Structure 1
């Protein structure tokens, strides 16, 4: 027997929104919790912009989990079209219907046209799925990395975001009874048009400060030694602040590196091991070559001289 998860109620305050995120292990600052709370209360799409790996997509996953809603994800890419994102007709099944009708002597083209353009032959893609009613309540609709899609598709989304509806020429307009919880993310590889942004609440998701990033590491990688977690966070924060890298490491890479070094039973940053595992943290060879070796050793030596790290390392994992 399958157990049905009842949808949770919406948070009634900013503090409750912070608690909601925290309950799923997402460490957010108050500004993010504020705009998320407003988006939920006002039933407006939330437009999240920021570098890759800062936790934008995770917000939609957390909302789905904590609110007990379905998560419908539309992963954007260049060339994304209506057939992949919204709907398409099941042409093989329609052809079978036509042949069966012809074999039965039903040759009225008007009736046949109505018959084959029926919901039975409609293949629903993420946008259409997000507008459908659900027993658990309106779903969380994640439109991920919108900046990778073409501008034509971005323009199409205006109808969806403005009126929570799409128009299917053969069937008419499909409108949601209740708007889905829409989260839009972009890594800012190109600018999104103002017309779309105006329909959303906006928030820039930045890299966390050292204190919050350490809290994230300790929450997500509880098996990592306290000293190792503190030194990793300081190392990463230093890279972002001082090094001219092609791609700065995001929080996701920080967590991967903490997990990797923990799996190798490291209890503190070792220069040789740190150099050998830089491919977990950095994703471009030029960046790795810029940092590895003597630079890694110098950074770790500087970390050890930093008094706040010693205090942080002494704190128990939470």
Structure 2
């Protein structure tokens, strides 16, 4: 990773993120800048929909680096995340060797574990050299993976290398830019966190969320954008199973713009509430007096 391609300051990082439509708070820009300059993985934790995944996409686009994404899930293993051997291709090679009368078993064993039989998954791909520079490796929603897989990551995050018993150790010539996200459905082990710089990504304050909406939904009116942000900010004070994130705010604002809305009304909010709330119990809780009160506060001119 060439340091010359990276921002030279926190202000430079803020400008880089803003140029791609990501309006970050200064603390997030600071830890992102330090992560790149120090070559340390960046661990982002927070509620779903607050922009953790997006920052990896923005860095990839802004720096001109390949984005390699590993989406974590329960049961994720080495074969899906790192590598596996192509057993079908190996079997064909064995049959061809036997047909040719090659009886040197030691040589054959060595041949079938050559690199051409290696299927490289995202983590191994991220260690390969790239003419555009080290890639951005996004390990998304690590909290969904099992603790055993989390432990496997320690070697990669410490030394940026993978050890394959039959092949040897593969090291990255230049460490990738690593972004790890978690929605905190479970705690991530301290051993992994120690290898990273950490930042909690919170819901944005009203002023920044308003700027985000105006940036991401260009056709929205000033009046409607203010009402949308006030309404969403008020929803986050309610006792919901899942409060709306910034992604939902943008989706709702976009939906309202598609409906040519100029102002929030009870009918309009009721018809489009599914863009904000994704659980029926939450939607049901936002009916009647609760909806009227939140809507009144959001549309008040005071």
- Scaled by the length of structure 1, the TM-score of the pair is 0.93
Q: Give the deviation of 1:299 after TM superposition.
A: 1.6
Give the equivalent residue in structure 2 for 1:244: 239
Q: Give the deviation of 1:259 after TM superposition.
A: 0.5
Q: Give the deviation of 1:107 after TM superposition.
A: 1.4
Does structure 2 retain, via aligned residues, the 8 Å contact 1:210–1:233? yes
2:13 is the counterpart of 1:40:
no
Alpha-carbon distance in structure 2 between the residues aligned to 1:102 and 1:256: 60
- Superposed CA deviations along residues 153-206 of structure 1, whole A, max 9, x for unmatched, are 000000000000010001100000111000000000000000000000000000
2:4 is the counterpart of 1:30:
no
Alpha-carbon distance in structure 1 between the residues aligned to 2:263 and 2:199: 35
2:262 is the counterpart of 1:267:
yes
Structure 1 unmatched ranges of 5 or more: 1-5, 308-318
2:90 is the counterpart of 1:98:
no
Residue among 272, 275, 283 paired with 2:278? 283
Q: CA RMSD in A?
A: 1.3
Alpha-carbon distance in structure 2 between the residues aligned to 1:122 and 1:254: 44
Alpha-carbon distance in structure 1 between the residues aligned to 2:36 and 2:68: 17
State which drifts further: 14-23 or 292-301: 292-301
Structure 2 unmatched ranges of 5 or more: none
2:167 is the counterpart of 1:171:
yes
Secondary structure (helix, strand or coil) at the match of 2:298 reads: helix
Alpha-carbon distance in structure 1 between the residues aligned to 2:177 and 2:191: 19
Q: Give the deviation of 1:225 after TM superposition.
A: 1.5
Secondary structure (helix, strand or coil) at the match of 1:127 reads: helix
Alpha-carbon distance in structure 1 between the residues aligned to 2:214 and 2:3: 29
* Matched pairs, number: 301
Residue among 252, 257, 265 paired with 2:252? 257
Residue among 43, 46, 50 paired with 1:50? 46
List, as ranges, runs of 4+ consecutive aligned residues in structure 1 with deviation greater than 4 Å: none
Alpha-carbon distance in structure 2 between the residues aligned to 1:45 and 1:24: 21
